[in-house]
Structure 1
Amino acid sequence: MRWQPYAIRITHYFLESSPRSAVHTTDPLPKAVPSSQFHAAMETTQERTTYEQERDKPLPSLNHGFLQAIITGELLRYREKYTPFSELTLQIDDLHVTPDLCVYPKMEMNFQEDVVRMTEPPLITVEILSPTQSQQDVMDRINDMLDAGVKSCWLVQPVTETITMFTGDEKPTTVSTGTLRDPVTDIEVDLADIFEEG
């Protein structure tokens, strides 16, 4: 059973001293739940809600997280000219979005000073489609980012093992084999290296 905040109305208290800790509620429960498990479930659900609200997208799945790490490694090969970032929030005029990855021209990092939101558009953003995410929602985000000045947006689709590249007015390019070459940065990514584990 998946616990939802405020879905259960507690009328009494947790019987911590009882050999069989139970939750007294006005709603039927499938079985007794120890208070530690109940609170852990409540906190986990709240954390997920906060993550989704802040980033305006669902939690990353196993495949999503793996591909994000692999693509980051590929982008780091170009760090002499470009600086890649993961989960960096962009605040460009009215656009507030957190792409999975983005690439800026080479930046000098200062760990004594930090930036919470970037107000300049990156050269590239990368969005990895999650299983619970609507493709139309992702397309809307991509169009918004292009309108805000992002030069190139990549859409990674794990199920089809493809990457589609959007560059403004030009028609999108979908690559399923071989090498994807970004025309804005000349960054090249071999799809065999991205999807080899699949």
Structure 2
Amino acid sequence: MTIASTQIKGLTLEEFLQQDYIDESPAYEYIDNQIIRKPMPKTHHSRIQLKLASLIESATLKGNKVMAFTELRCTFCDRSIVPDILVVETEKIPLDEDGELENNAIFFSPIWTIEILSPSQTPTRVIDNILFCLENGPQLGWLIDSQEKIIMVFQPEKPLKIYRQDETLPIIENIDLSITPNNIFSWLKIK
């Protein structure tokens, strides 16, 4: 089922989660009692998401205390969002009886949320999701803007900081990674 409107009112969070269409691509989110469809990614978004998620996953320290995912639904505190990239603590991930990841959404906040701004997105809505996550437990939030070639970094009890060019970006614990905006935006060039 495809919904034409990008905003639909009238469902509770529990009713929203029962809808078949919410995980169509692009996914739907439930924010402030509204159903909002994410925009379809373009090449910049898709390339950065693929490369960055892979890099984060390969940089996790031994013991796999954290794990990276892309486009995984997170439902918590009366909101259901789908960050572009998220990092969660492995101990919180539900497992089935065979010790494998449950094939489901998560019902807690990630410790690191990364959003990649698409041309059709307003920064306000994306920043609101990052701030909402930070209010509910995460250690770090990034908003990557490939048009402006900047990365906005959000951290609890610290002012917003914009990183440019060769400034080393902050990373959460348990990930051995040193990366700059220039590293990330270099992925947009064909070498």
Provide the TM-score with structure 1 as the length reference: 0.66
Per-residue deviation, residues 66-119 of structure 1 (Å, max 9, x unmatched): 110111122023233421111111011212100000012346876855242211
CA distance in 1, matches of 2:82, 2:100: 23
Q: Which runs of 5+ in 1 are unaligned?
A: 6-46
The amino acid of 1:190's aligned partner reads: T
Greater CA deviation, 98-107 or 133-142?
98-107
Q: 1:191 aligns with which of 158, 175, 181?
A: 181
Aligned to 1:176: 164
Aligned to 1:139: 127
Equivalent residue for 1:51?
25
CA distance in 2, matches of 1:101, 1:129: 12
Q: Secondary structure at the match of 1:181?
A: coil
Question: Please, which of 67, 75, 78 is the counterpart of residue 83 of structure 1?
Answer: 67
1:51, distance to aligned residue in structure 2 (A): 3.1
- Structure 2, unmatched stretches of 5+, are 5-20, 30-36
Structure 2: distance between partners of 1:112 and 1:129? 32
Computed over aligned residues only, the root mean square deviation of the Cα atoms, in angstroms, reads: 2.9
Kept after mapping to 2: 8 A contact 1:58/1:132 = yes
Q: How many residues align?
A: 154
Distance in structure 1 (CA, Å) of the matches to 2:158 and 2:75: 25
**In the alignment, is the contact (CA less than 8 A) between 2:141 and 2:153 conserved in 1?**
yes
1:62 corresponds in structure 2 to 43
Are the counterparts in 1 of residues 110 and 133 from structure 2 also a CA contact under 8 Å?
no
Distance in structure 1 (CA, Å) of the matches to 2:137 and 2:156: 9
Cα displacement (A) at 1:177:
1.8
Check conservation: 1:180, 1:190, Cα contact below 8 A: yes
Question: How many angstroms does 1:52 deviate by?
Answer: 4.3
**Identical pairs, percent:** 22
Hey, what does 1:149 align to over in structure 2?
Answer: 137
TM-score, scaled to structure 2: 0.69
DSSP 3-state at the match of 2:118:
coil
Q: Which secondary structure does the structure 1 equivalent of 2:151 belong to? A: strand
Match of 1:162 in 2: 150
Local SS of the residue matching 1:59: coil
